[in-house]
Amino acid sequence: MSTDTATTIRDLLTREFPGIHVTSVHPLDKGYTSKQWVATTDEGRLLVKVPQRDPRPDHLRRLVASAQVAAEHGVPVVRYRRLVPHEPALNGPVLIQEYQEGDAAGEVWESLTEDQRLALMRDLGGIVGRLHTVVGPHFGGVLGGGRAASLRESVEAEVAALLPLAQPELIGDADTLRSAIAAAVARLADEANAPTLTHGDLWLPNLLVRDGRVTCVLDFEHATYAERFRDFGKLDEHIFDAFPAGRGVFLDAYAAACPLPDDWERRVDLGHVLHALTMHVYFSRWAPQWAPQYAEQVRKWLARDA
């Protein structure tokens, strides 16, 4: 890190927090979507983040608001101290948050015993269950974006937005997929179709671990009020497909915090296809080499469920 960058961050912190004393600044080589620095101050360590992939201030306001709602319901999250919509010296918006001690679960996972992994999955089940007890006033963003009155309306709007961005030669017939997803929604019990706070990016790198326990859930940038089993798409793909022994422990802890409806497996199935379609579109833009595998998941779902 250049001396100029360190000075810029010192100046930023002393401007935003008058009276703070910054003793050191160093870069943190972690994360996929932002540049990060850790500042040691007399108010504790602060993490300074400059988002790179989606630097829109309104997106960051949704992130902060979603994490705050989760915190108000007992979910362990980081505490954001400030959002600077644009900092010219760093060429973008800046998020300042309290630094959380611990290791990303993804970094320590391979070194854990099975019992230690099961303990983390038990923690995670309780945390996600607590998150999913938060019922919102609508389907859509915490700050009101993409508002929809019903699950059907919400899913229809999401699919309508995703399909034009999908690769038709990989994904298959768009109208057939649209109809199959609509039919899957129609099979769900209306009384359980509540707009629930979902994280949207639950996998090991977004979990902090300390002393064998999950202590913090990171990165609420994809959080929204949605059908709660949407979160199972990424959970199953990135955690339980490789560690199936953890799924039962997770589900027991989850259900103790947030009981499962009778049709929960159908809801998980819907969550899987919506996750696959979303990831296909996402990777078509950012890492095209991964897009075909998600298109294949969509086609397999369609062949099984249509």
Q: Using 50, 70 and 90 to split pLDDT, how confident is the model at 1?
A: very low
CATH number, domain of 56, equals 3.30.200.20
Same domain, 223 and 186: yes
Domain with 24 in it: 3-98
Contact 276, 290 (CB under 8 A): no
Same domain, 203 and 248: yes
Same domain, 136 and 285: yes
Given 68, 98, 128, the domain boundary residue is: 98
* Nearest alpha carbon to residue 95 among 62, 47, 27: 47
- Which burial class, exposed, middle or buried, applies to 64 when counting CB atoms under 10 A from its CB (0-12, 13-18, 19+)? buried
* Nearest alpha carbon to residue 27 among 37, 35, 40: 37
| Residue 2 pLDDT greater than 80, yes or no | no
Same domain, 207 and 261: yes
Q: Using 50, 70 and 90 to split pLDDT, how confident is the model at 54?
A: confident
Q: Using 50, 70 and 90 to split pLDDT, how confident is the model at 306?
A: low
pLDDT tens-digit map of 109-123: 999 999 999 999 999
Same domain, 237 and 301: yes
Same domain, 79 and 165: no
pLDDT for residue 196: 98
The pTM of the full predicted model, rounded to 2 decimals, is: 0.92
As a whole number of Å, the CA-based R_g of the chain is 20
Same domain, 78 and 199: no
Contact 38, 100 (CB under 8 A): no
How far apart, in whole angstroms, are the C-alpha atoms of residue 101 and residue 191? 41
Given 52, 74, 98, the domain boundary residue is: 98
> Total domain count for the chain?
2
pLDDT tens-digit map of 126-170: 999 999 999 999 999 999 989 999 999 999 999 999 999 999 999
